[in-house]
Amino acid sequence: MKKFILALLVVVFALVSFSAYAWEPSKNVTVIVAYKAGSGTDNTARVLSKYATNTVGKTLVIQNIEGGSGSIGWTSLSMAKPDGYTIGFVNLPTLCSNIVEELGDYTIDDFAPICNHVNETSLVLVAKDSPFKTLNDLVKFAKENPGKLKASTNGTKASNHIGSELLAKSAGFEYMAIPYGGTADQILALRQGEVDFSVAKEADIAAIMSEVKILGVFSEKRMESLPDVPTLGELGYYNKWYGSARAIVAPKGTPKEAIEFYEAAFKKAMEDPEYIAAAEKAGVTTLYLNAEDTGKLIQDQYKFCTDEVAKLWE
């Protein structure tokens, strides 16, 4: 009887172990980033991938597929073989605004959510040597010189363009939006004096903070990292939070076991004290959400784009 019980326990333990690790990668994993190397998305993806390689157990290989405000990379991701060996980062709300604008042959249903990684507040930026000392200075100039003010964006109706429109509409001024290939090029244009202002996120400018001035934040209260910078609402402009999320997804049809594996692996990586320190240093605002909540976030962002963003260009 004792031998039978012992054998039974061995079998039960084996089954439990198997169910806990029903799938795990046996080779390196491709991680698609739909923006160029050095962009905000690329930087945050590389910070996480460095530590997630340890929890995944295989190397996470970043593949930059840029163009079309992210739509080229996300088209490749949606069409990748759903075997668990290709995953990628999607930016919100840009992914959803691209779908609304029909920039790619995919829908939100073509992606299987894994987890959310980043939640970042948008900022209004000018170059360090800009004549605008405050956001009110910029708005005053824009109202007195309709259409003369220029803003660089990360693509037509992409996340940072939406931010510029939210500011302009709430402050009542006209400006010229100039789209660039992505956030890295957008910020470069600002630094080189090609435009007057930009809207971007903290991680986008972490390496060049000394070259820009932050005039306002899209938040309902001041940011802990920027306590001296007023919110737009304080100044009488857009008074809601606005920013970007960066989530990790897989192609539709990826096995549930693979999704669950990555969901747990990325959670563990984001809880690593060394990752947390590296993320803070890089200006990355981590916000882990599980697969279910990430799916809800994507749905909410799609609704935001169809209900609110569309009205900005009516």
Q: Where are the domains of the chain?
A: 27-119+243-312, 121-235
Q: Is the dihedral of CA 123, 124, 130, 131 positive or negative?
A: negative
What whole-number distance in Å separates Cα of residue 134 and Cα of residue 128?
12
Query: Is residue 170 within 8 Å of 237, Cβ to Cβ?
Result: yes
Query: Is residue 131 within 8 Å of 66, Cβ to Cβ?
Result: no
Class of domain 121-235: alpha beta
Residues sharing a CB contact under 8 Å with residue 296, sequence separation 6 or more, in sequence order: none
What whole-number distance in Å separates Cα of residue 110 and Cα of residue 106?
6
Same fold across 27-119+243-312 and 121-235 = yes
CA angle 207, 213, 218 (to 5 degrees): 95
Class of domain 27-119+243-312: alpha beta
**E strands, 111-162, in order:** 111-127, 150-153
Which residue, among 120, 73, 112, has the nearest Cα to 243 in the 3D structure? 120
pLDDT for position 313: 84
How many C-beta neighbours within 10 Å does residue 292 have? 11
Average pLDDT, consecutive stretches of 10 residues, N- to C-terminus, the chain (314 residues): 49 44 92 91 94 97 93 97 98 93 92 97 97 98 97 92 96 96 90 97 87 96 94 97 96 98 98 96 92 97 92 85
